[in-house]
Structure 1
């Protein structure tokens, strides 16, 4: 299954029409302040990202979904699963993540997409455990992580940028689908 329907969202694989809306998300400084060094990303970088995400689908059987609003057909951003290679200390764990445009914040879309993704990971893909990596201070993401039933395991530092990260986890025995 590479499509998930929720009451308000469609989580699906990427297509060519998704590049510009995702580039708009990546160009939003409010969104990107929590990602890597906080810099915005351009259309070319976004195209490379989407290509990597699609490769991960082919290699791992999971990846980052495009998040589409059912009511309007707009692409709000992404939610999904990835191997967090930037943080070798957590491997071989699989991480859940999301990134939505700021105009879509505060409406429950990220929580809805994250919950559906977690259910997909544990029930459809058979993963026994999923982690979330959150930059300390990103309270909105921290709230979503708590809503998923994930618990903080430890703190670490980003290996390149040095800022503190929280590592959360959940396993199949703890998940309430």
Structure 2
């Protein structure tokens, strides 16, 4: 198992099969998935898990499994993902996160995302990163702000129906040059 990033409280690492049950619970949790189109079934989570592993194999980066150092508990993911849908800011790499509610408001997302930014710059040589979320998701937007990202614009997500309340998204960007 590879460890990619360590912070004072967290390890960002390769995924293990033992992560899948908690990952499935995360993806089917009402609070976690409040600002997504739907919760994921167990099979959809397995498919997502396999896509994450394929992205690592092909790109050398991806969504890192996050565990707490103190007890090695898997708490979600933070990482990098290629933006593959049709928008004017793609092709690009996004930074994103999804953690279990039990660890919200403790700075874990900010800590892991900040370390991921540094890894993207120093190890991967990326020049910029994007992040986006639906407008109502203020918690995620606050993480973007805390890690130094700057609001770029609002946009309608092309994979969301225009009449859906989660269609409108906010886009943040950060330059990793001279950071």
TM > 0.5 between the two? yes
Larger displacement relative to structure 2 (151-160 or 91-100): 151-160
Partner of 2:174: 170
Q: Is the 8 A contact 1:4 1:10 kept in 2?
A: yes
Provide the secondary structure at the position in 2 that maps to 1:41: coil
Greater percentage in helix = 1
Per-residue deviation, 1:88: 3.5
Does the alignment pair 1:45 with 2:49? no
Larger displacement relative to structure 2 (123-132 or 156-165): 156-165
| Structure-2 separation of matches of 1:136 and 1:122 | 28
Taking the TM superposition and a 5 Å limit, the aligned residue runs for 1:1-177 are 2-35=3-36, 37=37, 39-161=38-160, 162=162, 163-173=167-177, 175=179
| Structure-2 separation of matches of 1:84 and 1:123 | 21
Per-residue deviation, 1:14: 0.6
Q: Is the 8 A contact 2:81 2:95 kept in 1?
A: yes
Instruction: Give the gaps of 5 or more residues in structure 1.
Output: none
Q: Is the 8 A contact 2:129 2:174 kept in 1?
A: yes
Q: Is the 8 A contact 1:153 1:168 kept in 2?
A: yes
Q: What is the Cα-based RMSD across aligned positions, in Å?
A: 1.4
CA-to-aligned-CA distance 1:12-55 (integer Å, 9 cap, x gap): 011111101111111101111112x1x21122111110110111
TM norm structure 1: 0.92
| Structure-1 separation of matches of 2:177 and 2:21 | 39
Provide the secondary structure at the position in 2 that maps to 1:32: coil
Give 4+ residue runs of structure 1 displaced > 4 Å after superposition.
none
| Structure-1 separation of matches of 2:157 and 2:113 | 23
Per-residue deviation, 1:86: 2.9
